[in-house]
């Protein structure tokens, strides 16, 4: 039996993590010759009694005395020698990232991917490297990896969603739905954003176009956006418009009876009213449009839900896996955050399976992961099942190293 005290400092955490799970030589860097993967060796894992049932297994996995849930950096983790099949490169990368060393975390994965010796864990390693490149802003490396991924797996790679230089700011919203944010509704800015929006739509069933920061517009930009929204609708893609109320305030002054120089802006205003579910404003503007342009106005589509009633509504519409979650974790979760998992403990017993949305968790360090393991183990011993929804590949890899997947369900973030 090995007993280690994990310090809170990242350097100490890194040393202890590798003392627990075994130091392994890092593979050759990307572009170099990959070295052979070392043979599997015993590594430290929580104690498990194979013959015991799930409840007995959960008790055996408890790192602490009964009833004691450590939350501070002085946590003691009691482990015994066992083995697992997670490749060394994935272990090393997950622990390095948990210690906030994302650049260093890339190297083991790059070498292992080049060596192509990851077996059934290959998709996990590629997913981790995509996430690291995304977080580091390494778009050229991401796109090169995407080309290699498509050739290797014969399927579409993840889409790059980093910040664009001028047209649209793209990011991943809760639940993994890509968002493009527009700072202007002028033609050149809208064109750049629409290109990114369509790229996202090729990979996802739902996309988001953020309008809250739009400060100006012109007819070309409104025409481009009108056509883009029509095409997305025709292809069955859902497009939420967070901030549409701000865009309405920007465009509303054009809806003046008899003023015919801003038709595309007027039509876009009607579209925004539809997305907001504001039928009264839509009907008034539509009548004025018909009078001004002497044509039939767009009709109200009663079947369409208001997608922007509020942040929670938008998130649930576009991230059903997160909508089912009873509680949420987010940000960086590290040792010393005493209340990080209180929401899970408080909700225990409320339903047979407690769903926890982790789609907003960027990083969790090793000590925090151990504390989470302690809590879930205790809950599992009482019959409470826990399911983590929307985990990144990096987070899921760390959890699998410590054995959290043995006592809880882990569902990856949707692409």
Query: Among candidates 124, 121, 93, 97, which has minimal Cα distance to 29?
Result: 93
Residue 72, Cα to own-chain centre: how many angstroms? Answer: 27
For the ranges 11-15, 139-143, 198-202, the lowest mean pLDDT is seen at 11-15
Domains 178-315 and 319-412 share a fold: yes
Tokens of residue 404, six digits = 């959290």
CATH of domain 319-412: 3.30.750.24
For the ranges 228-232, 248-252, 323-327, 403-407, the lowest mean pLDDT is seen at 323-327
At 362-391, the pLDDT tens digits run: 999 999 999 999 999 999 999 999 999 999
The answer to whether residues 75 and 371 touch, using CB atoms and an 8 Å cutoff, is yes
Query: Residue 168: pLDDT above 60?
Result: no
| SS3 readout for 356-408 | EEEEEEEEECHHHHHHHHHHHHHHHHCCCEEEEEEECHHHHHHHHHHCHHHCC
Taking CA atoms, 372 is separated from 10, 61, 70, 405, in Å, by: 18, 12, 9, 12
Element (H, E) at 172: strand 168-172
Residue 36: exposure state from Cβ atoms within 10 A (0-12, 13-18, ≥19) = exposed
Over range 310-318, report the average pLDDT: 36
Q: Which CATH architecture has domain 178-315?
A: 2-Layer Sandwich (3.30)
Over range 319-343, report the average pLDDT: 73
Delimit the domains of the chain by residue range: 2-149, 178-315, 319-412
Q: What was the pLDDT predicted at 357?
A: 92
Q: What was the pLDDT predicted at 225?
A: 95
Residue 323, Cα to own-chain centre: how many angstroms? Answer: 14
At 27-82, the pLDDT tens digits run: 444 444 344 444 444 444 444 444 344 434 433 444 344 444 444 444 444 433 33
Q: What was the pLDDT predicted at 206?
A: 83
């Amino acid at each position: 039996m090995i007993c280690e005290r994990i310090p809170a400092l990242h350097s100490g955490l890194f040393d202890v993590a590798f003392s627990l799970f075994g130091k392994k030589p890092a593979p050759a860097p990307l572009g170099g010759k990959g070295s052979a993967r070392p043979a599997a060796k015993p590594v430290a894992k929580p104690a498990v009694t194979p013959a015991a049932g799930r409840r007995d297994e959960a008790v055996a996995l408890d790192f602490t005395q009964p009833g004691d849930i450590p939350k501070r950096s002085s946590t003691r983790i009691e482990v015994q020698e066992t083995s697992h099949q997670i490749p060394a490169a994935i272990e090393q990368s997950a622990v390095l990232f948990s210690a906030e060393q994302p650049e260093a975390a890339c190297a083991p994965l790059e070498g292992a991917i080049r060596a192509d010796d990851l077996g059934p864990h290959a998709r996990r390693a590629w997913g981790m490297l995509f996430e690291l490149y995304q977080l580091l802003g390494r778009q050229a490396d991401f796109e090169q990896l995407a080309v290699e991924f498509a050739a290797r797996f014969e399927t579409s790679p993840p889409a790059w969603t980093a910040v664009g230089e001028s047209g649209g700011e793209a990011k991943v919203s809760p639940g993994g739905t890509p968002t493009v944010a527009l700072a202007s509704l002028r033609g050149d800015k809208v064109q750049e954003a629409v290109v990114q929006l369509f790229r996202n739509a090729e990979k996802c069933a739902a996309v988001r176009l953020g309008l809250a920061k739009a400060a100006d517009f012109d007819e070309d930009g409104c025409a481009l956006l009108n056509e883009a929204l029509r095409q997305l609708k025709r292809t069955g893609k859902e497009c939420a418009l967070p901030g549409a109320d701000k865009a309405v305030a920007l465009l509303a002054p054009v809806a003046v009876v008899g003023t015919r120089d801003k038709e595309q802006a007027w039509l876009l205003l009607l579209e925004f009213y539809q997305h907001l579910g504001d039928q009264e404003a839509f009907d008034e503007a539509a009548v004025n449009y018909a009078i001004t342009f002497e044509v039939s106005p767009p009709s109200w589509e009663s079947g369409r839900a208001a997608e922007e009633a509020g942040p929670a509504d938008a998130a649930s519409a576009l991230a059903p896996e997160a909508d089912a979650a009873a509680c949420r974790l987010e940000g960086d979760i590290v040792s010393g955050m005493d209340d990080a998992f209180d929401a899970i403990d408080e909700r225990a017993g409320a339903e047979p399976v407690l769903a926890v949305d982790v789609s907003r968790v960027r990083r969790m360090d090793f000590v925090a992961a151990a504390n989470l393991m302690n809590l879930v183990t205790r809950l599992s011993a009482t019959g409470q099942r826990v399911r983590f929804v929307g985990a990144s590949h990096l987070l899921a890899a760390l959890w699998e190293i410590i054995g959290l997947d043995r006592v809880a369900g882990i569902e990856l973030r949707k692409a």
